[in-house]
């Protein structure tokens, strides 16, 4: 099978598409406002090799929690609205 030609895009510091390696993504399954539980899941996903971690943001409280989570991790986050 011939690979499709795709364009490169950046998600934070990560490049996907084109000739970049396949990026592994996963999503947290906690309420984002539960900072301790979400931070634990982020750590687990990072250790498991996730390149992109998706986080649900459904409220202003989630936005504030995301700011705190961002300070505690070097992972590339993608927000699901």
Give domain status of residue 42, yes or no: yes
- How many domains does one find in the chain? 1
pTM: 0.86
The DSSP output letter for 75 is S
Domain assignment present for 4 = no
Residue 60 counted as domain residue: yes
Pair 8, 17: CB distance under 8 Å: yes
Range of the domain at 49: 9-80
Q: What is the pLDDT of residue 1?
A: 82
Residues whose CB falls within 8 Å of the CB of residue 11, separated by 6 or more in sequence, listed in order: 23, 52, 76, 78
In a domain, 2, yes or no: no
pLDDT tens by residue, 13-58: 999 999 999 999 999 999 999 999 999 999 999 999 999 999 999 9
What string of DSSP letters covers 20-72? SPPPPEEE--S-TT-HHHHHHHHHHHHHHT-SEEEEE--SHHHHHHHHHHHHT
**H or E stretch covering 19:** none
């Amino acid at each position: 099978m011939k690979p499709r030609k795709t364009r490169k895009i950046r998600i934070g510091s990560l490049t996907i598409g084109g000739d970049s390696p396949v990026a592994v993504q996963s999503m947290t399954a906690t309420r984002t406002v539960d900072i301790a539980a979400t931070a634990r899941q982020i750590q687990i996903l990072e250790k498991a090799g996730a390149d992109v971690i998706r986080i649900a943001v459904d409220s202003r409280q989630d936005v504030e929690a995301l700011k705190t989570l961002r300070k505690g991790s070097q992972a590339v986050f993608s927000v699901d609205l």
